[in-house]
Amino acid sequence: MTQTLTPPRPASTAVPVTLTINGQKVIGHTGQTVYQAATDAGIFVPVLCHHPALPSHGACRICVVEIEKQRTLQPSCTFPVAEGLVVQTESPRVVEARKFVLEMLFSERQHYCMYCTASGNEHGSDCELQRLGYRYGLDCWKYAPNYTRRWPVDATRTHFMMDHARCILCRRCVRACHELVSNHTLGLQQRGTRTMICADDSVPFGESTCVSCGTCLQICPTGALYDRRSAYLGHECDTQRTRTTCMQCAVGCGIETLTRDGSLIRIEGLWDAPNHGVLCEQGRFSVLDEIPAQRIKQPLIRANGQMRQVSWDEALRAAADGLSKARTVAGLVTPRVTNESLIAFSRLFRDIFKSSQVGLLSGRTPPLGIGAAATLEGIAKSDGIIVIAGDPLKNQKVLGYMVRKALDHGARLIVASGEETGLDHLADLCIRLDVDGSAQTKTIWDSHKRIFHLRSDRLAQVKKEIDSLRSPVVLYGAGLDQELYAALRSLPAKTSFLPLVEGANAVGAARLGFSLRAVQGDALYVLAGDEQPDGRTLPEAQFTIVQASYRNAWTDAADIVLPAKAWFEKTGHLTNIEGRRLPLTRSIEAPREIVSDWATVFMLSVKLGQPLACVTVSDATAAL
Amino acid sequence: MSGNGDAQDSAGRYRATVLVCGGERCGSSQAAQVLSAIQSRVEKRGLAEEIQVVPTACRGLCSAGPVVIIMPRGLLYCRVQLADVQAIVEETLVKGRVIDRLAYVEPAEVQEIPLYKEIPFFSRQVRIALGNCGMIDPESIEEYIARDGYRALGKALNQMTPDEVIREVRESGLRGRGGAGFPTGLKWELCRKAAGKLKYVICNGDEGDPGAFMDRSILESDPHAVLEGMAIAARAIGAREGFIYCREEYPLAIARLETAIASAYEYGLLGERILGSDFSFDIRIKEGAGAFVCGEETALISSIEGQRGEPRPRPPFPAVSGLWGRPTNINNVKSYAMTPRIVLRGAKWFNGIGTPKSPGTAIFALTGKVNNTGLIEVPMGIALGDIIFDVGGGIPKGKPFKAVQTGGPLGGCLPIAALNTPVDFDALMEAGAVMGSGGMIVVDEDTCMVELAKYFLTFAAAESCGKCVPCRVGGQRLLDALTRITEGHGNQRDMTTIREVSAKMAETSLCGLGQRTPGPVMAALQFFGQEFVDHVEDKTCKAGQCRALVRARCVNACPAGVDTPAYLALITQGRFAEALEIHRQRNPFALICGRACPAFCEKKCRRAELDQPIAIRLVKRFMADQELQRPWTPKPTVDEKQRRANSARKVAVIGAGPAGLTAALRLAQQGYGVTVFEKYPTPGGMLVWAIPEYRLPRSIVATEIDNIRRAGVEIRCNSALGKDFTLDSLMGQMGFNAVILAVGAHKTRRLGIPGDSKIGVINGLDFLRMIAAGPKEAESMKLRGKRVGIVGGGDVAIDVARCALRLGASQIHVLYRRSGENMPAAHLPEEIDAAMQEGVQFHTLVNPIEVLGQEQVTGIRVQRQRLAEFDTGGRRRPVGIESDIYNLQLDVLVPAIGQLPDVSCFGEAVLQTTSSGTLVVGPAFNTSRPGVFAAGDAVTGPATIVEAIADGNLVAIATDAWLRTGKFVKPVVQMSRHDIPLTHVLDDYASATRPATPRLPVDQRSGNFAEVEVGFSEKTTKQEACRCLRCDLEWLDAMHLPRPGGPVNSSASPAPQALKEVEAKP
């Protein structure tokens, strides 16, 4: 809520204009609103319905200003700047009007601040309405609030609630649902004072088409929408915020973590990242729910069928010992690690074990670099999207939202997939791919055997469609057959491509040669991090080292268990689906004994007697 | 040009054309059956070849529908029923006779006007947009073409460039008829200049005002005019596509539009390359779901786009970025309908009509309390009063006009003072209302302006889209405040809320709906602020509409607040003494009022809506007469302790009229020592010195004054203020603690014309006093065989006339300068009737300009008057017609043109007076001198007995409060409430009617002063009382209070507590 956006760059046709705000000369440019010009100049103008991530709406009227030659007060969030405009943002007339708007809002529903989880005090509050109440000195209810009417609370959604009594009908949530997520679930019913935010045809939120992305929750200016997990855990203004990157999938959404006293309270999307504040349910909510309780804080060694806590020194010595004895060493690494750790891991196998038996624990990655790389923003603005062998709405949700956004702006959509996808019903053309290979897989990394084929007549049809588009984007998944792959490569140059990668840093891993493949060796070193087995089994080996954050089936079967940092404790870099290098910043300090993944690898190399060169950021960047 | 054009243009081969208004789906009449009946009758008579029967759409005169017009004669028949069809065909069509009973009757006149063009409803209209309405078959494109249809489009396409079209429209001065009045030509030009290849035109037919149907009528009656106007606009701005936004609730309009669009395509007037030009144009209909806010152009655009119908901030304006972000021109149905005429006949023709800044015509849906409700088109600049009284035919039942709401629910109400306002965009705005899209609702005195404002506000608040905070919440807060006020819970904070919220809503709301939502309440506050004060401070609703404040309309209408339903209920049970006791709580003069009260209660009686009002006055008279033999000793109204405390103080009342006597009684009942000083030898004031004996016998007055004496009041006659004592002496050596001036208004206004002091000029009150003084004095005027002229139209004038007649005058002429229905005495129509029966001649619309004769009056020169603009009282001002002067031979001239209080008696004590000579008092009846209070006619000017009694009650409360606390307290009439059970079955009296008033035969009245009215018998009285609908019991239900118990039969014993006055707590 409190993040600010960097101002958008002026359009190429923009012309600078000079206006006077509160007697101060301000240079703005055409296409700007008075609010933007004032804000850029550091002049505070309050807003409630307006949010920089959303198009101007002009509903709440709190941002009204006095503009010379205008009969009535004008909303600064919609009024375009013009040469010579003379504006007053805090004149007595304006202040009176703002107080009136606030008094109206406070009288409309039940804004009993002291009962609200978003309430704060004059020094800081999570509620934008309350903050304005303090700013404009509303110390009493001028118009009696509506005591008699009951306003419903909707608690049918898993992760967050809606208390209509605190809703000010600014429609930020509705507009976010439409403009940012393109989910079109939220809407308004009735009119006048009976207006209510509703989902679909007024069904409980939990039964609606809501995808629980939580963008509405993040954008709500009051305590109307609140997060079950972080409610009653104190005020947002007392938390620490850390800008980092989401590690739940390869999209790499910019996030901000809210932490207090070493625990994660909430995750919010970064407004100034390409995801524009949007996250998916997994990235915003589930990830917090899924943090297991049983943390591995110290190395463990199996002895007499029992796991025993040992010192790092003892564990690493035992590990080096075991690995040295093995003829072949195989390695598996989760894509949820930093580039820096991946390099260390790959060097360990390449330089010390001289082993090629290295693969990914998860994350199927299509071949990269077919043509020009597409960006998330490019997708949202594209006029045609072709999705082949993948389901972004399932596996790269925020990317899926961008696809829908493009459709809202009139883009065409072709979906070619082996099975039903979430985008099928939106597609102008929906094609089923023929599937070769076994869909039945025992371990998850067997699924790479699936190969997709597109009949040539259908292929021609798709090509024809693409020819007619201005800026087509192809989203392709793994498992395309040779013909299809070659066809994609031969598409016209205006086409840009985005691989539907699975796994947070799978692109980084792929660039370092890691892929989802079966590996084999006498000894097995698994860098699992905070990835969970989810029923998958590791390959058989005589000696297994598992480095993991939490106790699970894999660690239970291992000979040696080394602790690892969880995603929110890591610092380093990732490479996302677009190929951008994204920073990962620790939000919480790891327990004292736990070190970075690359440091573990380094320490192991020392015990093996062949210390690796230390991995630096520039190292990693160069390697990629 | 007027659209009253002749139908023979299109019907040349027929001998006659019968136009039947309405049509299948007209909800207001059975036009369809009438139409088919005429058709079959014409065919049966073999007249089908020579007589054409055409179904037309609305002609506007809906109150008189179904309307049948017979061309070429232009005969207009109203309220035609199936039974009339035979006569129309046989008498009019075959034999050419006019059927008088079907002819239109002008409400203010008594003469039938059969000809269409002569009816004021039509003759004052100029029909441009409505020109074809009711004259053509809207489903026939041929008929439209026959009346110059699509000629303007042809001209615009092939003889004019788009810029020339725009210039023509600009020069015509046409302003948007949707309400805002933005210059249409300028709008087109802006849209034409806006960047972008794709542009749209939209026709705004989202008409949502309650009671307004201008757009619907045009769409239903002349859809092609709208299509043609849109095509011209599209050509001018460069649009390829157009939308008509019409609400789904107008199925007939949509059906007719669909038909019209289909025919236009068929004729190549829509579609590709229209009329061989390079212009192509398509029109689609968008059905709106009936949201008022969708009439706002940006909300309408959202709605067409498939979004929620909510307005968007402007700028950008639709001319720059409208439908789907493209330049868009939106005009109202009426604006488009006027466009073809402007293009065809030129800008000069159009701006020759109306006013310079608002050329052309205005279309209104005239509704409410007006005789001719319906649709009208009048030239801009016509006075508001002309619309209401000429076109609208005035207010039904001759009730006084109170206000007119223009501009629909977002407009404002204008009071009497605005009747001369010229109707155009700017003048209405300046007057405090708006033009709006054309709703015009007339209200009479029975409308509560607070309630009306609340009604409009309820609509506006319900129709708020809910987008912007000021409108969504502000509207509700206003409504809350108004609801509290109308329910009797209002306080000053609500008034502050209304003012503040209104001002801020206007300043901060997003669209016109929010900005104008406070309009009606602001206008009501501006022009009818006193009504708000009445509701808030006094908890009264004078109009009798606010349920919680009005127990029964009769009680509410009575100035003294007598609990009428209660005493009527007791009378039904024969309990006259108890009934009288209730009456006396508020009005001690039941005998007098039973004879001479104007009975405001009867005028508001709800039974009148069924048949006739209850004869409350005559029932009361019987009740009072029953107890005539039992002298009444008024009982104290305060406890013994308070009485003793009060008895130390003395109050002087000056004037023994009804106000003074009532005040004296009330104070005496509270224990004060009260002395009444009366200038004349007999107490009673106007009761004895003005009202003649044949209306109010002296003995009756004396009986009731004796009651007052029995309460302990001392009445000293022949002692005059200013002569026998002064205010100073009263409050000084005479030792009075307070003085109440109830001196009445006994001075007659002078005529103020040459010769008004000649011998033989006797002013009205002097005349009546002479008669009251006794037969000798009366005879001294020597009226026998004389010609008596009386100037004036009030009660005094009528009393003088009838007395003069009784004294043997040979001719009585009453000269009144306005028309008959404007006579002040018209509130007692039976008095005027009786005077006419007795032989009094009335001359109306004449004004005396000179008294003729040397020293003695020989006659009077009078000038005929015509009625001009409206005065501040809402009546048309009489203006002399210069050349129309004549003489009337007279022997005696009695001016009776109004009375004033005689302030000379106050002497040194300077008391503030108004310009009309009445005393100025504060809210507590306090004069400028502490301790001196004033009430009655001296303050109000000449009024009625019951108003004087009401004043007497109140001044007593104020005086008591001042004497006890030293503070000026505004006295308020508390709602009087005695819950008397209903003991008979109301249904038994469902068909009972009001008995005639028994009067002495006319031949027995001349030459004597015997009481003219005779009174009811006991049986009649009881039966008449049984007709009472008992609104008071319904009020109990509405207030969720228990009804008084008791078995429903006449033998039920009275509940003793029933007579206890219950404090009214709504």
- Cα separation, A361 vs A16, whole angstroms: 55
In this structure, the number of other CB atoms found within 10 A of the CB of residue B882 comes to 8
Peptide linkage before B315 cis (omega within 30 of 0):
yes
Straight-line distance from the first to the last Cα atom of chain A, in angstroms, rounded to the nearest whole number: 35
Residues 6+ apart with CB under 8 A from B1003: none
Q: Which residues of A touch B504 (CB under 8 A)?
A: 96-97, 100
Asked if B511 and B469 touch (Cβ cutoff 8 Å), the reply is no
Q: Residue by residue, what is the 3-state secondary structure of A399-434?
A: HHHHHHHHHHCCCEEEEEECCCCCCHHHCCEEEECE
- CA proximity to B20, closest of B106, B83, B85, B114: B85
Quote the radius of gyration of chain A (alpha carbons, Å): 27
Torsion of Cα atoms, A461 then A463 then A468 then A472, to 10°: 130
> In the structure encoding, which two tokens stand for residue A178, read together?
């439409």
**Within chain A, which residues score under 70 in pLDDT?**
1-11, 146-147, 437-449, 614-624
In this structure, the number of other CB atoms found within 10 A of the CB of residue A579 comes to 18
- CA proximity to A405, closest of A214, A182, A175: A182
- Cα separation, B137 vs B130, whole angstroms: 13
Determine, for residues A192 and B507 on separate chains, whether the beta-carbon distance falls below 8 Å: no
In this structure, the number of other CB atoms found within 10 A of the CB of residue B495 comes to 19
How far, in Å, are B136, B679, B716, B738, B911 from residue B724 at the CA level?
Answer: 82, 9, 11, 18, 19
Q: What pLDDT score was predicted for residue B8?
A: 41
- Cα separation, B263 vs A542, whole angstroms: 90
- Identify from A34, A64, A65, A143 which residue to disrupt to test chain B contact, counting B C-beta atoms within 10 A and taking the largest count: A143
Q: Residue by residue, what is the 3-state secondary structure of B299-334?
A: HHHHHHCCCCCCCCCCCCCCCCCCHHHCCEEEEEHH
Determine, for residues B313 and A190 on separate chains, whether the beta-carbon distance falls below 8 Å: no
In this structure, the number of other CB atoms found within 10 A of the CB of residue A311 comes to 11
Residue type present at position A357: Q
- How big is the CA angle at A51 (ends A48 and A56), to the nearest 5 degrees? 95
State how far Cα B857 lies from the chain centre: 42
Residues in chain B: 1066
- Cα separation, A553 vs A89, whole angstroms: 63
What secondary structure letter does DSSP report for A283? I
Q: What pLDDT score was predicted for residue A438?
A: 55
Q: Is B324 exposed, middle or buried (0-12, 13-18, 19+ CB in 10 A)?
A: exposed
- CA proximity to A55, closest of A193, A174, A214, A190: A174
Total-model pTM: 0.88
Peptide linkage before B72 cis (omega within 30 of 0):
yes
What is the mean pLDDT of each successive set of 10 residues along chain B, which is 1066 residues long? 41 75 63 84 85 79 79 80 86 82 67 68 84 87 91 94 95 91 95 93 90 89 96 96 93 94 95 93 93 92 94 92 94 95 94 92 92 91 92 88 91 93 92 87 94 94 94 95 94 94 95 94 95 92 92 93 95 94 95 94 93 95 93 92 94 96 96 95 93 93 95 94 90 94 88 89 92 88 91 92 91 91 81 87 92 92 92 88 91 91 74 84 91 93 93 95 93 83 92 92 84 92 96 93 64 38 42
State how far Cα B973 lies from the chain centre: 25
CA–CA min distance A213, chain B (Å): 24
Q: Which residues of A touch B464 (CB under 8 A)?
A: 191-193
* Tokens 């022009």 belong to residue: B527
How far, in Å, are B131, B181, B294, B448 from residue B424 at the CA level?
Answer: 20, 9, 25, 27
> In the structure encoding, which two tokens stand for residue A517, read together?
């493949």
Q: Cite the beta strand spans of B522-649 per DSSP E.
A: none
How far, in Å, are B465, B653, B657, B718 from residue B679 at the CA level?
Answer: 68, 12, 11, 5
Straight-line distance from the first to the last Cα atom of chain B, in angstroms, rounded to the nearest whole number: 58
What secondary structure letter does DSSP report for B996? P
Q: Cite the beta strand spans of B792-931 per DSSP E.
A: 811-816, 841-844, 846-852, 859-870, 876-889, 892-895, 899-900
Residue type present at position B682: T
- Parallel, antiparallel, or unpaired: how do β-strands A384-388 and A472-476 relate? parallel
Burial B633-645 (b: 16+ CB within 10 A, else e): ebeeeeeeeeeee
Determine, for residues B476 and A108 on separate chains, whether the beta-carbon distance falls below 8 Å: yes
Q: Which residues of B touch A174 (CB under 8 A)?
A: none
Q: Is B517 exposed, middle or buried (0-12, 13-18, 19+ CB in 10 A)?
A: buried
Quote the radius of gyration of chain B (alpha carbons, Å): 34
Determine, for residues A58 and B476 on separate chains, whether the beta-carbon distance falls below 8 Å: no
Q: What pLDDT score was predicted for residue B109?
A: 53
The reply to whether B313 touches chain A by the CB within 8 Å rule is yes
- Identify from B473, B497, B504, B505 which residue to disrupt to test chain A contact, counting A C-beta atoms within 10 A and taking the largest count: B473
Q: Which residue in chain A is spatially nearest to B514 when comparing CA positions?
A: A192
- Cα separation, B26 vs B11, whole angstroms: 25
pLDDT digit string, tens, across residues B51-63: 888 888 777 777 7
Residues 6+ apart with CB under 8 A from B917: B747, B900, B901, B903
Interface of A with B (CB under 8 A): 56, 58-62, 64, 72-73, 75, 78-80, 96-97, 100-101, 104-105, 107-108, 143, 168-169, 171, 187-188, 190-195
Strand partners, A169: none
Determine, for residues B469 and A58 on separate chains, whether the beta-carbon distance falls below 8 Å: no
pLDDT digit string, tens, across residues B820-850: 888 888 777 888 888 888 889 999 999 999 9
Tell which phi-psi region holds residue B274, choosing left (phi > 0), alpha (psi between -120 and 50) or beta.
beta
* Tokens 């501006």 belong to residue: B526
- Cα separation, B943 vs B936, whole angstroms: 8
The phi and psi torsions of B224 (rounded to 5 degrees) equal -65, -30
Q: What pLDDT score was predicted for residue B989?
A: 94
- Parallel, antiparallel, or unpaired: how do β-strands B673-677 and B714-716 relate? parallel
In this structure, the number of other CB atoms found within 10 A of the CB of residue A444 comes to 17
In this structure, the number of other CB atoms found within 10 A of the CB of residue A611 comes to 13
* CA neighbours closer than 13 Å in the CB half-sphere of residue B757: 1
CA–CA min distance A438, chain B (Å): 47
Asked if A299 and A562 touch (Cβ cutoff 8 Å), the reply is yes
Query: Coil, helix or strand for A341?
Result: helix
Q: What pLDDT score was predicted for residue A537?
A: 87
- Cα separation, B957 vs B936, whole angstroms: 14
User: Where do runs of H (alpha helix) occur along B55-106?
Assistant: 85-87
Residue type present at position B1026: C
> In the structure encoding, which two tokens stand for residue A280, read together?
């998916």
Across the interface, of B465, B497, B504, the residue whose CB is closest to A191 is B465
Asked if B102 and B389 touch (Cβ cutoff 8 Å), the reply is no
DSSP run (H or E) holding B462: helix B449-463
How far, in Å, are A47, B865, B893 from residue B416 at the CA level?
Answer: 46, 22, 34
Q: What pLDDT score was predicted for residue A1?
A: 43
Q: Which residue in chain A is spatially nearest to B291 when comparing CA positions?
A: A191
- Cα separation, B45 vs B87, whole angstroms: 13
- Cα separation, B758 vs B774, whole angstroms: 25
Residues in chain A: 624
The reply to whether B470 touches chain A by the CB within 8 Å rule is yes
Q: Which residues of B touch A76 (CB under 8 A)?
A: none
CA–CA min distance A363, chain B (Å): 42
Q: What pLDDT score was predicted for residue B1066?
A: 37
